[in-house]
């Protein structure tokens, strides 16, 4: 065998393993591991693969409900029942570090990875959404990353043929140098099509499917588990994988066809830690062992070592365990799709992951211990010092606004609030002809029809389903109060779903945080998980899976703690599908929820976009999130929608009531360059107890703006009040201006003018 480097303490450290971890490895293996085996442990026990720093915390998440068919942590993605023998599989995942180095490929392969996780479960991926965060747009480097990430996502998703239907994009200085790219995908399948990633059946052959293995992404999993510095960025350029969406599309079609034959005993994608992870995880899940010979693995570069082949993260590869005797079907289907395949090994009963190279053993490790026995750490958590100052903040130093004209304009132009059309018009959001609500409203809604199911579904009168999706996180609020902010992220998602006519049924989360060895940052993580868990319990929307991305920081500091939440809901009937835009002149505008939280000393302004934009202040206790109130609001709103009383619904979030009202007046674009506007006259003159800036721009939770016909207005208000939700009519739709009457004054904005600022802000910055 060629001379492998000797195992030295330095080599162990370079592999991201501590001396204690190395000792543990020796105990598990019963001897000194060799270089290849060290590499295997290093990726399997990296944070990215093993969650060693967070596993203990994540146990706090609610993961059960009557709908759960495959739960969090069991397989690549969770699966929920949606009735009539149908199910959905979904998950969100990050690709932050690779996107910082190569934004296009990093983002593209992030999309590829999450799509694979979905079809590995036997589901046909039918839609994608994403959550992106960058530094401020006046920085040319930020613009480069933003441009690259969006075109990478577009390139992969569009070519693969999956509609990207919703998302969020935020810009904040804390993400400078550490962009966040969280990609979500959702797929559809029947209950009997659920596929598992377990190596079952001793003697079953193991197939490798997909393009040849190269040196891409070598040790990418370990790379994701480090802080990003100038040197690490340079070194890690070789760690970024290059994706091929066309190959992935072929791979998916072939895999789904193969799954339909029943010849597959187990299937797993080769994602993080490639061949290593897929072989040992399938063996661990199956309670079996696996033996492969690397000489049979198709290789792109000459002279690849076992270490390189095992750790490579070349994309679009799958590991398929086939029922013995059915090998011909695999070959037939993969030849049909012109996809490379190779039989590389077989399932054993030894419980060991045995890797040979040309017949010679190069690694022999116990699969379960490798996959499941990574150390679990309980990191130290300490409340961050900055919070003391945050809590001391009062509005005494902030002058109330007299004339909100400019403030509203500036907020609508602020990139985090401004229209994201520059982004989503690069994504095909209509392919598969199932998108009922396109990007731009509170939530996306897609329909599931017979051809959404793998292989199609022959049922007479196929029971079509309507799925709503939203992704949210106000990371500024989380930074200022991780627990409240995280609860609020869940509540906001649920509110967005309710606004579209849907009941939440499940959640997936992507926790993006800094270095877990920093007790203050770990505290943020701990508190965030606590908030998320409570939120998910309140809405009966268990976490079906998710992702943790740590070490998101550079020498300048860590990112704002960002627990991205994506939620999925079901709309019962097509007529319940609701969008946020005003619909008709003369409709009544009603505010559900208290205009300002009267128990909040900061009147909803803490951590608000308004304080940041108008006063350059990022401080103050963020608005409290009362989950009982939010739940009541959600069910009440849904009830009103299901009673056909509601014509439009939009929740209040960043920028508060005034921004939300403005957004309602910008009716959905009819076509290219053809906006239509429906103004409104709003009367808030009765709200004398609050500051004007709080009333208009405060971000108190639990508020939704709905419109009803004039005839239904009183009924809707009474119904809401009866159910315990404060409700009042605040105005009427009409004209081409947004007119606002406040206790002290009256203001009017031309909707076209506001729209212009809001619609073109990001496009202008990127020109």
Partner 1 sequence: MKFAVLQFPGSNCDQDCVHVLQNVFGFPTRLLWHKESALGDVDAVLVPGGFSYGDYLRTGSIARFSPVMQAVKEFADQGGLVLGICNGFQILCEAGLLPGALIRNRSLQFRCEHVYLKVATQDSPFTQAIPEGKLLRIPIAHGEGNYFCDATTLEELEAKDQILFQYADRDGDVTDHANPNGSLKNIAGICNTARNVAGMMPHPERAAERALNGDDGRLIFESLIAALNPAPATA
Active site residues: 48, 95
* Residue 159 engages partner 1 in binding (rule: CB under 8 A): yes
Report the residue number, 214 or 514, with the smaller CB distance to partner 1. 214
Part in contact with partner 1 (CB under 8 A); list of ranges 274-282, 316-324, 507-515, 663-671:
663-671
**The only residue of 11, 537, 669, 752 in contact with partner 1, by rule CB under 8 A:** 669
**The only residue of 13, 361, 430, 714 in contact with partner 1, by rule CB under 8 A:** 430
* Residue 760 engages partner 1 in binding (rule: CB under 8 A): no
Q: How far is CA 522 from CA 305, 381, 514, 530, in A?
A: 38, 5, 8, 12
* Residue 461 engages partner 1 in binding (rule: CB under 8 A): no
Determine the Cα–Cα distance for residues 281 and 557; give it in Å rounded to an integer: 35
Part in contact with partner 1 (CB under 8 A); list of ranges 315-323, 371-379, 559-567, 670-678:
670-678
Greatest CA span in the chain, whole angstroms? 85
**The only residue of 74, 327, 451, 572 in contact with partner 1, by rule CB under 8 A:** 451
* Residue 242 engages partner 1 in binding (rule: CB under 8 A): no
Determine the Cα–Cα distance for residues 319 and 562; give it in Å rounded to an integer: 33
Q: How far is CA 636 from CA 489, 702, 716, 722, in A?
A: 20, 12, 10, 10
Part in contact with partner 1 (CB under 8 A); list of ranges 3-11, 63-71, 424-432, 701-709:
424-432
C-beta of residue 325 within 8 angstroms of C-beta of residue 210: no
**The only residue of 65, 139, 151, 232 in contact with partner 1, by rule CB under 8 A:** 151
C-beta of residue 100 within 8 angstroms of C-beta of residue 145: yes
Report the residue number, 29 or 446, with the smaller CB distance to partner 1. 446
**The only residue of 20, 338, 389, 460 in contact with partner 1, by rule CB under 8 A:** 338
Report the residue number, 582 or 749, with the smaller CB distance to partner 1. 582
Q: What three-state secondary structure class fits 239?
A: helix
* Residue 432 engages partner 1 in binding (rule: CB under 8 A): yes
* Residue 674 engages partner 1 in binding (rule: CB under 8 A): yes
* Residue matched to tokens 């809405």: 539
Report the residue number, 385 or 433, with the smaller CB distance to partner 1. 433
Phi, psi of 619 (to 5 degrees): -160, 180
SS3 of 564-595: the string is EEEEEEEECCHHHCCCCCCCCCCCEEEEECCC
Q: What three-state secondary structure class fits 35?
A: helix
**The only residue of 428, 509, 663, 687 in contact with partner 1, by rule CB under 8 A:** 428
**The only residue of 27, 231, 403, 670 in contact with partner 1, by rule CB under 8 A:** 670
Report the residue number, 247 or 541, with the smaller CB distance to partner 1. 247
* Residue 477 engages partner 1 in binding (rule: CB under 8 A): no
Determine the Cα–Cα distance for residues 351 and 280; give it in Å rounded to an integer: 10
Determine the Cα–Cα distance for residues 114 and 77; give it in Å rounded to an integer: 9
Part in contact with partner 1 (CB under 8 A); list of ranges 19-27, 157-165, 494-502, 690-698:
157-165
* Residue 246 engages partner 1 in binding (rule: CB under 8 A): yes
**The only residue of 68, 72, 127, 250 in contact with partner 1, by rule CB under 8 A:** 250
User: Rounded to the nearest 10 degrees, what angle do helices 627-642 and 713-722 cross at?
Assistant: 140
Q: How far is CA 340 from CA 160, 299, 302, 437, 447, in A?
A: 18, 11, 18, 38, 34
Tell me whether strands 180-190 and 124-134 are parallel, antiparallel or unpaired: antiparallel
Report the residue number, 244 or 481, with the smaller CB distance to partner 1. 244
* Residue 671 engages partner 1 in binding (rule: CB under 8 A): yes
* Residue 73 engages partner 1 in binding (rule: CB under 8 A): no
Instruction: From 595, 589, 599, 557, select the one nearest 699 (Cα to Cα).
Output: 595
**The only residue of 22, 45, 134, 337 in contact with partner 1, by rule CB under 8 A:** 337
Which of positions 559-588 make contact with partner 1 (CB under 8 A)?
574
* Residue 123 engages partner 1 in binding (rule: CB under 8 A): no
Q: How many chain residues interact with partner 1 (CB under 8 A)? A: 39
C-beta of residue 283 within 8 angstroms of C-beta of residue 275: no
Cβ at position 427, least distance to partner 1 in Å: 6
* Residue 139 engages partner 1 in binding (rule: CB under 8 A): no
Burial 146-161 (b: 16+ CB within 10 A, else e): bebbbebbbbbbbbbb
Give the H or E element holding residue 248.
helix 245-261
Report the residue number, 438 or 642, with the smaller CB distance to partner 1. 438
Q: What's the DSSP call for residue 77?
A: S
* Residue 635 engages partner 1 in binding (rule: CB under 8 A): no
Determine the Cα–Cα distance for residues 80 and 505; give it in Å rounded to an integer: 8
Determine the Cα–Cα distance for residues 733 and 471; give it in Å rounded to an integer: 29
Which of positions 275-304 make contact with partner 1 (CB under 8 A)?
none
Tell me how far the alpha carbon of residue 48 is from its chain's centroid: 16
C-beta of residue 415 within 8 angstroms of C-beta of residue 761: yes
Q: Build a one-symbol-per-residue string for 179-218: x at contacts with partner 1 by CB under 8 A, - elsewhere.
A: ----------------------------------------
Report the residue number, 341 or 479, with the smaller CB distance to partner 1. 341
Determine the Cα–Cα distance for residues 494 and 505; give it in Å rounded to an integer: 10
* Residue 706 engages partner 1 in binding (rule: CB under 8 A): no
* Residue 763 engages partner 1 in binding (rule: CB under 8 A): no
**The only residue of 244, 293, 560, 687 in contact with partner 1, by rule CB under 8 A:** 244
* Residue 140 engages partner 1 in binding (rule: CB under 8 A): no
Report the residue number, 316 or 699, with the smaller CB distance to partner 1. 316
> How would you class 340 by CB atoms within 10 Å of its CB: exposed for 0-12, middle for 13-18, buried for 19 or more?
middle
Cβ at position 425, least distance to partner 1 in Å: 5
Report the residue number, 103 or 656, with the smaller CB distance to partner 1. 103
Spatial neighbors of 470 by CB under 8 A, at least 6 apart, are 166, 442, 443, 444, 493, 496, 497, 500, 566, 567, 569
Report the residue number, 90 or 427, with the smaller CB distance to partner 1. 427
**The only residue of 15, 52, 116, 429 in contact with partner 1, by rule CB under 8 A:** 429
Binding site for partner 1 (CB under 8 A): 151, 154-155, 158-161, 244-247, 249-250, 337-338, 424-433, 435-436, 438, 447, 449-451, 574, 669-674
């Amino acid at each position: 065998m060629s001379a492998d480097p000797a195992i030295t303490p330095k080599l162990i450290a370079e592999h991201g393993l501590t001396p204690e971890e190395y000792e543990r490895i020796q105990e598990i293996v019963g001897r000194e591991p060799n270089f290849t085996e060290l590499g295997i442990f290093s990726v399997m026990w990296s944070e990215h693969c093993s969650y060693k720093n967070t596993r203990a915390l994540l146990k706090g998440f609610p993961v059960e409900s009557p709908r759960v068919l495959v739960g969090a942590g069991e397989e690549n993605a969770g699966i929920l029942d949606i009735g009539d023998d149908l199910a959905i599989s979904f998950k969100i995942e990050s690709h932050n570090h690779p996107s910082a180095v190569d934004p296009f490929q990093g983002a593209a392969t992030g999309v590829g990875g999450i799509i694979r996780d979905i079809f590995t479960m036997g589901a046909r991926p039918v839609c994608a959404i994403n959550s992106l965060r960058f530094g401020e747009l006046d920085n040319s480097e930020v613009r480069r990353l933003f441009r690259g990430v969006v075109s990478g996502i577009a390139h992969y998703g569009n070519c693969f043929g999956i509609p990207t239907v919703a998302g969020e994009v935020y810009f904040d200085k804390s993400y400078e140098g550490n962009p966040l790219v969280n990609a979500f995908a959702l797929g559809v399948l029947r209950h009997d099509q659920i596929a598992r990633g377990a190596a079952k059946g001793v003697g079953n052959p193991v197939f490798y499917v997909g393009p040849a293995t190269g040196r891409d992404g070598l040790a990418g999993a370990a790379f994701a588990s480090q802080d990003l510095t100038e040197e690490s960025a340079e070194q890690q350029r070789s760690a970024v994988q290059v994706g091929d969406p066309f190959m992935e599309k072929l791979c998916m079609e072939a895999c789904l066809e193969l799954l339909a034959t029943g010849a597959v005993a187990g299937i797993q994608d080769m994602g993080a830690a490639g061949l290593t992870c897929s072989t040992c995880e399938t063996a661990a899940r199956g309670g079996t062992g696996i033996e492969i010979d690397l000489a049979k693995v198709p290789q792109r570069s000459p002279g690849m070592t076992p270490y390189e082949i095992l750790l490579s993260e070349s994309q679009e590869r799958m590991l398929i365990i086939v029922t013995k005797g059915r090998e011909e079907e695999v070959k037939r289907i993969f030849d049909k799709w012109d996809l490379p395949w190779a039989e590389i090994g077989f399932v054993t009963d030894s419980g060991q992951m045995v890797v040979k190279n040309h017949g010679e053993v190069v690694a022999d490790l116990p699969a379960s211990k490798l996959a499941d026995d990574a150390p679990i750490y309980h990191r130290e958590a300490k409340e961050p010092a900055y919070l003391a100052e945050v809590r001391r903040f009062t509005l005494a130093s902030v002058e109330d606004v007299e004339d909100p004209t400019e403030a509203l304009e500036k907020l609508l132009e602020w990139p985090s609030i401004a229209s994201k059309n520059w982004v989503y018009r690069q994504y095909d959001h209509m392919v598969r002809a199932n998108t009922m609500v396109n990007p731009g409203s509170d939530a996306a809604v897609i329909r599931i029809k017979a051809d959404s199911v793998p292989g199609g579904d022959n049922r007479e009168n196929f029971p079509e389903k309507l799925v709503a999706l939203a992704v949210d996180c106000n990371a500024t609020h989380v930074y200022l109060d991780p627990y409240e902010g995280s609860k609020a992220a869940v509540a906001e998602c649920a509110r967005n779903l309710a606004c579209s006519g849907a009941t939440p049924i499940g959640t997936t989360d992507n926790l993006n945080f800094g270095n877990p060895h920093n007790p203050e940052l770990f505290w943020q993580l701990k508190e965030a998980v606590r908030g998320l868990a409570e939120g998910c319990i309140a809405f009966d929307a268990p976490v079906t899976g998710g992702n943790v991305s740590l070490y998101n920081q550079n020498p300048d500091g860590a990112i704002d703690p960002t627990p991205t939440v994506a939620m999925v809901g079901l709309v019962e009937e097509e007529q319940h599908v609701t969008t946020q835009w005003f619909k008709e002149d003369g409709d009544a505008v009603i505010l559900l929820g208290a205009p300002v939280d009267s128990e909040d000393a900061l009147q909803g302004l803490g951590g608000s976009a308004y304080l940041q934009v108008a006063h350059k202040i990022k401080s103050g206790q963020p608005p409290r999130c009362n989950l009982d109130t939010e739940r009541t609001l959600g069910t009440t709103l849904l009830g009103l929608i299901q009673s056909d009383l509601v014509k439009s619904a939009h929740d209040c979030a960043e920028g508060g009531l005034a921004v939300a009202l403005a957004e309602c007046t910008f009716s959905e674009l009819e076509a290219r360059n053809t906006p239509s506007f429906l103004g409104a006259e709003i009367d808030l003159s009765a709200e004398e107890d609050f500051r004007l800036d709080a009333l208009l721009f405060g971000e108190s939770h639990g508020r939704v703006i709905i419109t009803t016909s004039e005839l239904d207005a009183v009924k809707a208000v009474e119904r809401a009040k009866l159910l315990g939700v404060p409700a009042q009519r605040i105005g009427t739709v009409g004209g081409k201006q947004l007119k606002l009457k406040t206790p002290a004054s009256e203001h009017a904005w031309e909707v076209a003018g506001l729209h212009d600022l809001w619609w073109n802000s990001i496009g202008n910055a990127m020109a």
